[in-house]
Structure 1
């Protein structure tokens, strides 16, 4: 069975044996859990990362995920691209934690999935800081003193959070090959028009506009995404934003 959940930010208590049992979610060796971005395992090569990898290596189920905007893209790029179930992936923990790359189509349990991770970071009211900037210390102190969220380039923010032209074109090429028809879409953010309804203060970007174009061309059953820290399904039962819920995919068919 395939399950869907949202942002974890390197906090995996949601899928602990205790919590799964409490919520009667029997994830087994044959099950997949798809995380719609901001998984957070790949953030820094430290003891937390080592512990996380060891923990996932012992899980029964397989975790699949797309990139969010809270990911270390330089760290992710260290893992080689491989083929898996029809698309490109990166095995973070062999056969247990698998990144589904952008613009790919996967066939899993007889269902087709179009995946495209990434999103803009909106929590930077304190600025996007660069350690090479001579004013870095001043800007950092200002942000901290005023309790303003900030990001540091190459440490907590990466430009790769938004896709390249090549990645977007590869997605279009792969969709064209299947006549723009898939069962499910898995992303981190959503199309511009829908985002405007969920978060009116969030600005459109190259990725939300790309998804808006796909909305007008793509034939799909359901679109799952995270990013907005909400759990809701639209009235048409076509889009589900997931955060803390763990949903069997059959529930929304």
Structure 2
């Protein structure tokens, strides 16, 4: 469903990504682990069509991305360190803005459905600048899902969430997977959201250090493999 082929990216004199390739078939849930500076967020931004690689290509479906056409961007929902929300607008107005941007029909019903999914119905008409960090993260999730994207890209999605928020997001991810969405999640956690992951990539120094399925993988085995690979 989404693929990066021979992706390289340099910022100044630093090679952030070094000729890496990753393919995520439709319906697969992949987690990306790695130390700070490994290139995880840069890879996610390139796959999300927010940033362009210095070399290599991104393919969504069977289409190679050259000029990032808007119809392909509509296939993607992204949750990143930036909320992409407008603080002076209410939660409803933010979702209404993005819904109109994507040309959604029956928009009010879709806003209510997605705001219920993230547990913010009571805050629907509150201005976003009054939201806590956890509430902002929940609304960011709603914003990313309002257009029912086929590919969901998440950069540290559990950051700022309390235990209720963590449980809620885990349920959202489980629901997305059951609906055969393609998911890539950048994370530092060995636990949050990992129960439903099909495959793990470990990035280190801008390269893929490991790529393996999670079937029958114990938490202690994952930690051991991780520390072996990032120590290289």
Same fold? TM cut 0.5:
no
* Bigger strand fraction: 2
Which TM-score band (shorter chain)? Answer: 0.3 to 0.5
* Bigger helix fraction: 2
TM-score by length of 2: 0.34
Q: Which has the higher contact order (CA 8 A, sep 6+)?
A: 2
